[in-house]
């Protein structure tokens, strides 16, 4: 079942421990499901209850702690020894009298780490305020420090095996986008278009299947294209509607996101102009991508390109992506925006989505790219244009 070799898992763990060591951390608590998967392979939809990995700098293996009924998923999907899979009983689940972090704190004490420097992912999904309050109360002699994104920053450079998964995801993304564009027409319900897209995302290709994406397809239409994170309704499309499709392909939890805009009928001059401005900006930006350029330098190329046409955009134009779980396929590390001095390196992967939303409509055209040894590789295979139906 393991998606990567034991050697690869072992390298990842070593990098995490090196980073812990540099920062003086004895223990790292990991709740981000993507980070749990990255280090152990753990893969189940069980992140709706409290679960975590404990990485101790002086222990060979991380410890998985989760709900009793999910221990078998940990045995099936991880490389961990059974002794390091430690379940809590079901009465801890969503209880008003007991909290799973009490169990975790007791285990940390048993392992002799009650006085240690303990890092946790303070701003990660699923590491709640209550987790923090219980742990600090139960371990008053430990020193707690913030370990947010420690593992995420290691994830930013992908191995070749990871890149091969992301390329499969890109193939699924391209197919799913084509299926969506084909399905859109005046009189068709939004939900029926999304049903076709999701069918394609999950069935994948003849040679490999798709996984669930960390974000569902986003398909605002008409004036709702000004609101980029709306999902869908059962309304019917009508002549004159712009429709934005943002989706991803996913293969074994690795994502390749993609956005395109469709127009039903003859596009207005405004939409055509906005699309041209975005396409020019995307092309100018793709031309300069190579190892050594920083995220903010890249964004500035885009910014200058659209400024020539009298446009500006406040929000970031992209972010690092790859392995992930709901609710986000972004990695929360490098962003393509002013102030981000991250230097692009080979096998970084970004979703560049320089969308522009005006008051009554918006246009999105995005690409997921890999930084190569000398330049850039765009992963999806679909025309970069306004699709007219």
Which residues 5-64 are close enough to bind a copy of itself by CB under 8 A?
A: 43-48
**Taking CB under 8 A as the rule, does residue 109 contact a copy of itself?**
no
Pick the stretch among 10-18, 237-245, 295-303, 331-339 that binds a copy of itself (CB under 8 A).
Answer: 331-339
Task: Give every CB contact of residue 305 below 8 A, 6+ residues apart in sequence.
Answer: 280, 281, 284, 285
**What residue has token string 């430690």?**
86
Taking CB under 8 A as the rule, which mask of x and - marks residues 110-139 in contact with a copy of itself? ----------x-xxxxxxxxxxxx------
d(C-alpha 113, C-alpha 122), whole Å: 19
Nearer to a copy of itself, 13 or 50 (CB): 50
How many residues can be counted in the chain? 389
**Taking CB under 8 A as the rule, does residue 212 contact a copy of itself?**
yes
Which residues 336-375 are close enough to bind a copy of itself by CB under 8 A?
A: 337-339, 357
Q: Which of residues 2, 6, 76, 343 is near a copy of itself by CB under 8 A?
A: 76
- Per DSSP, the residues of 311-342 read ----S--EEEE-B--TT-SEEEEEESSTT--P
**Taking CB under 8 A as the rule, does residue 315 contact a copy of itself?**
yes
Structure tokens at 207: 């040679």
d(C-alpha 347, C-alpha 321), whole Å: 11
In whole angstroms, how close is the CB of 211 to a copy of itself at the nearest point? 7
Q: Which of residues 9, 64, 232, 237 is near a copy of itself by CB under 8 A?
A: 232
d(C-alpha 154, C-alpha 347), whole Å: 12
Nearer to a copy of itself, 54 or 120 (CB): 120
**Taking CB under 8 A as the rule, does residue 388 contact a copy of itself?**
no
**Taking CB under 8 A as the rule, does residue 176 contact a copy of itself?**
no
Is the preceding omega at residue 327 within 30 degrees of 0, hence cis? yes
């Amino acid at each position: 079942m393991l998606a990567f070799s034991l050697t690869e898992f072992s390298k990842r763990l070593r990098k995490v421990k090196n980073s812990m060591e540099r920062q003086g951390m004895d223990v790292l608590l990991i709740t981000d499901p993507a980070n749990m998967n990255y280090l152990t392979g753990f893969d189940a939809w069980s992140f709706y209850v409290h679960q975590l990995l404990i990485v101790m700098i002086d222990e060979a293996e991380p410890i998985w702690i989760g709900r009793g009924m999910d221990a078998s998923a940990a045995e099936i999907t991880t490389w961990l020894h059974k002794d390091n899979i430690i379940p809590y009983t079901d009465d801890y689940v969503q209880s008003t009298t007991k909290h799973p972090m009490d169990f975790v704190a007791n285990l940390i004490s048993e392992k002799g780490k009650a006085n240690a420097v303990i890092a946790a992912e303070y701003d990660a999904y699923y590491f709640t305020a209550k987790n923090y309050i219980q742990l600090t109360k139960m371990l008053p002699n430990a020193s707690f420090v913030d370990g947010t994104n420690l593992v995420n920053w290691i994830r930013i450079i992908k191995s070749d095996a990871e890149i091969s998964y992301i390329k499969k995801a890109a193939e699924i993304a391209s197919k799913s986008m084509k299926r969506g564009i084909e399905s859109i027409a005046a009189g068709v319900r939004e939900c029926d278009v999304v049903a076709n897209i999701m069918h394609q995302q999950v069935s994948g290709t003849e040679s490999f299947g798709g996984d669930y994406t960390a974000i569902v397809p986003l398909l605002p239409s008409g004036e709702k294209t000004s609101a980029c994170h709306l999902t869908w309704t059962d309304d019917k499309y009508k002549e004159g509607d712009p429709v934005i499709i943002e989706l991803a392909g996913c293969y074994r939890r690795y994502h390749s996101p993609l956005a395109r805009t469709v127009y039903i009928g003859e596009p207005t001059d405004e939409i055509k102009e906005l699309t041209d401005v975005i396409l020019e900006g995307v092309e100018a930006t793709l031309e300069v991508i190579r190892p050594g350029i920083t995220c903010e330098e890249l964004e500035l190329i885009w910014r200058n390109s659209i400024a020539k046409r009298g446009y500006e955009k406040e929000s970031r134009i992209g972010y690092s992506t790859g392995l992930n779980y709901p609710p986000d396929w972004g990695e929360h590390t490098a962003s393509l925006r002013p102030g981000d001095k991250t230097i692009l390196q080979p096998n970084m992967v970004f979703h560049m989505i320089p969308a522009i939303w005006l008051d009554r409509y918006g246009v999105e055209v995005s690409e997921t790219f890999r930084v190569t040894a000398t330049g850039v590789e765009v992963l999806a295979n679909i025309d970069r244009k306004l699709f007219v139906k």
